[in-house]
Amino acid sequence: MTTAKNVILVIDTETVGLEGHVYDMGWIITDKTGAIVAERNWLVQENFTNAERMMGAFYAGKTFTHYAPMLQAGTITMRPWAEILGALRADLLCYGVHPCGCSGSPEDFPVGSRGVPPDPFSGDLQQPCRGPRLL
């Protein structure tokens, strides 16, 4: 694998609950000109299909107006968390992305006093889909 220069990864998540359970995750990878080389959009099966958990989501009302049409059109895919992280890992390797940090709003990452690790992609990627070590 060759590390590409100026390859940018942008990840966006939607979470629910004080624990930060991810139910919607997407990313794009661009080259140095801004051209998108990869684009993914996922619903986390373990959380999105948990009705009790999803009732607390800020966008809970969009389940049928937003997400159902996207699922039907194929613009978003529902998969288990481990599979989503496997796809992310594959894209990181395929496009030579070398992550160096992350940021998020308090609603997305309940970081608090623990701080964000300098390399959010280190560690066990099989962790549950929540918390500051999201990846």
Residue 119 lies in a domain: no
Q: What is the DSSP letter of 3?
A: P
> Domain for residue 131, yes or no?
no
| Cβ neighbours of residue 12 closer than 8 Å, sequence gap 6 or more | 25, 26, 27
Sort residue 115 into left (φ over 0), alpha (ψ -120 to 50) or beta: left
- 129 located within any domain: no
**Beta-bridge mates of residue 21:** 16
Digit-coded pLDDT (tens) for 9-34: 888 888 887 778 899 999 999 988 88
Q: Would 108 be classed as within a structural domain?
A: no
| Whole-number average pLDDT of the chain | 76
The span from the CA of 76 to the CA of 91, in Å, is 17
Is 133 domain-assigned? no
Residue at 3 is within a domain: no
- State the average pLDDT over residues 63-87: 93
**Tally of CA atoms within 13 A in the half-sphere of 118 that contains its CB:** 0
pLDDT, greater one: 114 or 49? 49
What's the pLDDT band for 82 if we cut at 50, 70, 90? very high
Domain count, the chain: 1
Is 48 domain-assigned? Answer: yes
The count of C-alpha atoms lying within 13 angstroms of the C-alpha of 16, restricted to the half-sphere facing its C-beta, is: 20
Q: Is 68 inside a domain boundary?
A: yes
Q: Which domain holds residue 58?
A: 8-101
Residue 129 is predicted with a pLDDT of 38
CA distances from 131 to 8, 20, 106, 116 (A): 23, 6, 11, 10
